Amino acid sequence: MTDKIDVLISEDEVGLRIGQIAEKINDDYKGKSLYIISILKGAVFFTVELARRLTVPVYMDFMQVSSYGDSQVSSGSIKIKKDTDGDIEGKDVLIIEDIIDTGYTLKYLKDYLLKRNPASLKLCALLDKPERRETEIDMDYTGFSIPDKFVVGYGLDYAQKYRNLPYIGVVELKED
């Protein structure tokens, strides 16, 4: 089986947009330092490209989460597979995700991390599928709003494939 992938957002467009987000963050955090928590594995490509463009001092940390059971039904329950290495108390924290879909993952992480008393906590995602939202959540930085289609590339996977594509594409499943 080969999957057909149509380009939704080109490599150049993604790069340009990440540059704009970085400028905004540099501005918003002027005079402060930033504690980034990147969500493995999908957000890694975005995090690296963003972090390279940040001029404020950055500390990088990672978390990994997974949805319990059948994600179509029970996407509300999230399991922490890897927690932060550092202590975020009193820090200006920015969570970086690949995509916000139902919103359950970021909502859970936000509530979970707020209990540790960071000085501030903001949310950033490269992609947003607003039509799919099931829980109310305010994003601080988003790259692109996209239609309700399954996308891959730039860190996003389909069954662990295609994370390394340098653009965002839509997968069309095709039988040979």
Residues labelled catalytic: 101
Residue closer to ligand IMP by CB (options 23, 131) is 131
Find, among 111, 46, 47, 114, the residue nearest to 76 by Cα.
111
Check: CB of residue 46 under 8 Å from CB of residue 18: yes
Report, in Å, the least distance between residue 108 CB and ligand IMP.
Answer: 8
Find, among 74, 138, 130, 70, the residue nearest to 102 by Cα.
130
In DSSP terms, 144 is beta-bridged to: 127
Question: How are beta strands 34-40 and 58-67 bridged, if at all?
Answer: parallel
Report, in Å, the least distance between residue 85 CB and ligand IMP.
Answer: 20
Q: In this chain, which stretch among 28-36, 80-88, 92-100, 114-122 interacts with ligand IMP, using CB under 6 A?
A: 92-100
Among positions 8, 35, 42, 63, the unique one binding Mg ion when judged by CB under 5 A? 42
Among positions 45, 46, 62, 104, the unique one binding ligand IMP when judged by CB under 6 A? 104
Residues lying near Mg ion in the complex (CB under 5 A)? 42
